[in-house]
Structure 1
């Protein structure tokens, strides 16, 4: 099964559409969003995804009440613990405690955002993923990650 990993969309509706197109073309069954949606109207695009959607609030998510109303339980406070296809995932925005979470041995994958920089590496048997910024506002390079949950192979995709 494939998952789409995305973070820091920051209201870039065009890039959210591009990401969803890539996810749909690659038969992604779950989206994992590492926070900083920013505005509730991002749901207008994300609602068109047919699979599962898991997200966490980021530091720039302004109207959390309306975000929660639009996204429902799909968006939650961090650190969010999820299990998909037997894979234990920690989903968060800020990168605090990444090493401790990985070294605990309790997670197969730790996903975070916030820095807007791609970071894909392993600590022991835990895969760490920051897909970079989907918005492209800060560094000018918009990216997402396709993650095969069967073999834990990530693929960085430019939008």
Structure 2
């Protein structure tokens, strides 16, 4: 079992490197044990900004992540980067990680998971229940002019959405 009771959640960074660096700083300061990225990293060079994380990552490709070979190579030392939807277990909780929410309701009803994390819409969405559904919004800030991330306490299942400001 992994140590640490909090997870950082980020999505749709879209190459906005200053906001990525600020998110990493928040995650490190908070002491998260894992960072989940719900897709749309975009360019392999963004791995440089995630390298200072003090924990591993679980990443799913987004619809704009065209350079999959380069992203896979750049992020290989940081954690798992794979197509979605996919599941993994962390702190005895089963997670479903996806980028696009097209099958969200079906997944929520049938996947047998504790937490569903998705991105793509650029809008914050936290739905308490079973399963807990989280979209951290967009960290890139390009579409909504607001950059957000989320912190999940795995024990209490409490979600805190934080705005990134530079």
Fold match (TM-score > 0.5): yes
1:39 match? 43
1:51 and 1:80 map into 2 onto residues whose CA distance is: 20
1:48 and 1:74 map into 2 onto residues whose CA distance is: 16
2:156 and 2:45 map into 1 onto residues whose CA distance is: 34
Q: What is the TM-score of this pair, normalised by structure 2?
A: 0.92
Q: How far off is 1:98 after superposition?
A: 1.2
2:59 and 2:86 map into 1 onto residues whose CA distance is: 8
What is the alpha-carbon root mean square deviation over aligned residues? 1.1
| Number of equivalences | 158
1:36-90 CA deviation, whole Å, 9 max, x = no partner? Answer: 0000001001121121200010011121111111112621000120100001000
Pick from 100, 103, 109 the counterpart of residue 94 of structure 1: 100
Pick from 8, 24, 27 the counterpart of residue 31 of structure 2: 27
2:111 and 2:38 map into 1 onto residues whose CA distance is: 21
Q: Does 2:155 correspond to 1:150?
A: yes
2:62 match? 58
1:70-114 CA deviation, whole Å, 9 max, x = no partner? Answer: 112621000120100001000010002211221126111000000
Q: How far off is 1:154 after superposition?
A: 0.2
1:144 and 1:34 map into 2 onto residues whose CA distance is: 11
Pick from 106, 109, 119 the counterpart of residue 103 of structure 1: 109
1:43 and 1:77 map into 2 onto residues whose CA distance is: 17
2:19 match? 15
Contact 1:119 1:132 in 2 (8 A): yes
Moved >6 Å (runs of 4+): none
Structure 2 segments unaligned to the other structure (5+ residues): none
2:15 and 2:56 map into 1 onto residues whose CA distance is: 21
Q: What is the TM-score of this pair, normalised by structure 1?
A: 0.96
Contact 1:105 1:125 in 2 (8 A): no
Contact 1:8 1:113 in 2 (8 A): yes
